Chain A
């Protein structure tokens, strides 16, 4: 009997099918959603102190969105078939939702960025000549109206788009978490909490990335960092990081406390197999240290100089970016290194360096959004112009 069923028992879970690229994919989409939420805090909820990063956040969201599919394409054995899922999506497949969610979100973000930068596009078109002018005129859709009334209309539409974008961003990343949470054979993934954890960690990584970009951009441009803006971002980062880590801990505590049969494999997984990346990086280094650092920035702001606050916030944001990456790693890789039957573990996964799904390819993909932002910044400045910044809360 045993021998008869062998073919069906193995080798189904001795290989890591979802590689480094599948770690990178939710990381990048998380940055997309998180950056958008930061932009919406200003555009929809009127957090005027965030005006200095409002454009940066939207362009960062678009730049990451444009490369979000690359890790998936690098992972696919037949990337040329990728469009099939978009052309003939089956509504019983969660993965087929991707095309619609991605397209809807892309339209929203592009429209919003177009309206935000319309004035600059028109001004640049008027200053340019030849082909560049023709292209810019086309981008402006042939309308050079930057009157007060037109700008007010822009703001109204941006507000509506940003409001629509919040559920879109939440669906985009909640869906990524759902992909894992719905794999019921996997004890480490299968929890309805998974989309929520993914969503909150997405917002955490988005805010952290905006802090890093804002401080870097200000240093490069020689601009003053807005104290109110950074203080507010640090507060939001503290809040979202705390909720994220609480949810991550609650998930494990629930599993451990319930002592269901999953814990027989998930327990040793956390204690032995991914102890360094889970307990060491994700929980202690990635969560505890930023919690203390941001706690200092938020609660002891009276005693901090602007320089100290900027440095502490920068370091905390950088560590939280590592925390969120390690969370993606632990979920994706951790969920694959044990046998779904609970029989034991496979060897640890070490990504290759130079292959299609290797470290070098992942780094190249991750670099592209920054190049896009750099190119965008050269053409249309991401920093809000001085006049507007002064009108904010400098």
Chain B
């Protein structure tokens, strides 16, 4: 026992460290954690306080029923309006239009689904964008390359 002083000191140090960790954890765990499940309960209310930015899937059809009907019969039916158009809250406030709807016409958005990928199901039309545009090597893809030919009618009623 006489020559084990250092081992006892190490053991006490270890206990002190573990105690510090356990006590420290107590302060680090958010107050509402575990109140209604294994998550921070307050996070729910923080999210509920936020203004919704997106509309419900059918919200656009309230005013644009003609486009919605055309789109529903087309190949883009499962793609929500707000994928290519901006979020509803940038266009409508309290049921009224307050600004024009912005549209993303960049080729990169189209490429997200239509760039050829080996693992992508064949029923989605796919092209190698550069090949499809017959671009020379080093030539940049024009920002709105796709919509020059595939206009909005083709997109809504393809």
Contact = CB atoms under 8 A, between A and B. Distances in A.
B78 interface: yes
A11 interface: yes
B93 interface: no
B31 to A, nearest CB: 12
Nearest to A157: B7
B10 A111 contact: yes
B4 A150 contact: yes
B23 interface: no
Interface centre among A2, A141, A145, A346 (most CB of B within 10 A): A141
A345 B119 contact: yes
Give the secondary structure class of B's interface: loop
Interface string A121-153: 000000000000000000011110101011001
B3 A150 contact: yes
Nearest to A347: B118
A339 interface: yes
B38 interface: yes
Interface in A1-48: 2-4, 6-7, 9-11, 13-14
A157 B4 CA distance: 10
A90 B38 contact: yes
Chain B interface size band reads 20 to 34
Given A4-B78, A7-B78, A88-B33, A343 B6 contact: no
A15 to B, nearest CB: 9
Contacts of B75: 3
Nearest to B14: A107
Given A10-B121, A114-B10, A143 B5 contact: yes
Contact of B119 (A14, A114, A149): A14
B3 A149 contact: yes
Given A343-B119, A344-B118, A345-B119, A143 B78 contact: no
B28 to A, nearest CB: 5
A153 B3 contact: yes
Contacts of B63: none
Nearest to B25: A87
B41 to A, nearest CB: 13
B119 A6 contact: no
Counting chain A CB atoms within 10 Å of each CB, the highest count among B25, B118, B124 belongs to B118
Given A3-B75, A3-B77, A7-B78, A141 B6 contact: yes
A11 to B, nearest CB: 7
A345 B4 contact: no
B129 to A, nearest CB: 15
B117 to A, nearest CB: 5
Nearest to B4: A153
Contacts of B123: 2-3, 6
A339 B117 CA distance: 11
Interface in A335-349: 338-339, 343-347
Given A6-B78, A149-B2, A339 B10 contact: no
Interface in B1-60: 2-7, 9-10, 13-14, 25, 28-29, 33, 38
Count chain A CB atoms within 10 A of each CB in B3, B6, B75, B121 and give the residue with the most: B6
B114 to A, nearest CB: 12
B120 interface: yes
Nearest to B2: A149
Contacts of B28: 83, 87
A118 interface: yes
Contacts of B5: 143, 145
A310 to B, nearest CB: 38
Contact of A14 (B25, B77, B120): B120
Interface string A84-105: 0001101000000000000000
A88 B41 CA distance: 14
A141 B38 CA distance: 40
29 contacts: A3-B78, A3-B123, A6-B123, A7-B78, A10-B119, A10-B124, A13-B119, A14-B118, A14-B120, A83-B28, A87-B25, A87-B28, A88-B29, A90-B38, A111-B10, A141-B9, A142-B9, A143-B6, A143-B9, A145-B6, A147-B3, A150-B6, A153-B3, A154-B7, A157-B7, A339-B119, A343-B119, A347-B117, A347-B118
Given A10-B120, A87-B25, 7 more contacts: A14-B117, A143-B9, A145-B6, A147-B3, A149-B2, A150-B6, A344-B119
